[in-house]
Amino acid sequence: MAYFNRAAIAIALILTVALVAASLANADDKTIHVKKVKGKKLCMQGWECSYWSIYCCNQTISDLFQVYNFEQLFAKRNSPVAHAVGFWDYQSFILASAIYEPLGFGTTGGKLMQMMEVAAFLAHVAAKTSCGYGVATGGPMAWGLCYNREMSPSQTYCDTYYSEYPCAPGAEYYGRGALPIYWNFNYGATGEALKVDLLNHPEYIEQNATLAFQAAIWRWMTPVKKSQPSAHDIFVGNWKPTKNDTLAKRGPTFGTTMNILYGEYTCGQGDIDPMNTVVSHYLYFLDLMGVGREQAGPHDDLSCAEQVAFNPNTAPKAAASS
């Protein structure tokens, strides 16, 4: 496996900072280059959509979602009482997104669908990293990205059953990141996909915000199993439910993204708080982004309360960072 060692990670962090500066300096360099391959229109758009793709013919995320939007959605993340002050920022999100925009992340469909997917993804992130509560200053949904790691973990989350991803001596696999990663096998699989040695160094996720966002977007874009859809494919309508899916009340809806990401921890349990928290963030973000919550559809499209889990008995063994 092409894993980075410590020196390579340090170099990667330096290059990330340099890329941020270069990206911002050339933010206006968004010329759309177009070619046709077998009658199909393919495009590239500067650093943000950097290889030929049908999706790069659309607006990019930075065209639709800018610094002020990020600051509105995560208004309290740098408050003195937050637990990851100075860690999360817009540039880290955009740099991580740029890896997946040519694959359709935030670039599928027209402007409305693009903005709704960004809102949906970030609603999941906010719900899983929030330290907001009912009477919190600014309201409970202003506190997303309050954490970048689980506080006071109760265990190391090492499962010796998974021999493919054995636990590294001294490593602790508690929740870290924008969509918190738990357990050695999840760190191993994520690291393998991102070509970063997260199995031996899970702490990298809480040290680099771009990497943390990249891991979360990878999870959003990647099926848990080959026979199943990704959260992205569910949300943008690329996935067509089977008869069994319909019987299980699973459809191409926001609610089903919770099912594929969290399973029985969130879905099929009625109107429980973990589900309602994600839904509330989504509606709130749609309003803040100027889309409007009415675009989200009926309650049944938002809920997974009655859905049968895609992967029964595989719910996360701990809640998100809290």
Rounded mean pLDDT of the chain?
Answer: 90
For 143-208, the DSSP string reads -TT--SB-SS-SS----TT-TTSPPPTT-----BTTTTB-SHHHHHHHHHHHTS-TTT-GGGGGT-
Taking alpha carbons only, the member of 100, 252, 258, 98 closest to residue 179 is: 258
Q: 209-221 and 90-100 helices cross at what angle (nearest 10)?
A: 40
- Give 75's DSSP letter: T
pLDDT at 135: 54
- For 165, residues 6+ apart whose C-beta sits below 8 A from its C-beta are 184, 185, 187, 188, 189, 199
Distance CA 147, CA 138 (A): 17
Q: How far is CA 197 from CA 2, 180, 308, in A?
A: 9, 17, 34
Look at residue 39 and give its three-state secondary structure.
coil
pTM given for the model = 0.89
pLDDT, tens digit (0-9, with 9 covering 90-100), for 204-261:
999 999 999 999 999 999 999 999 999 999 999 999 999 999 999 999 999 999 999 9
pLDDT, tens digit (0-9, with 9 covering 90-100), for 46-78:
999 999 999 999 999 999 999 999 999 999 999
Low-confidence ranges of the chain (pLDDT < 50): 1-25, 314-322
Taking alpha carbons only, the member of 297, 218, 204, 296 closest to residue 261 is: 218
- Burial of 62-73, coded b for 16+ CB within 10 Å and e otherwise, reads bebbeeebbeeb
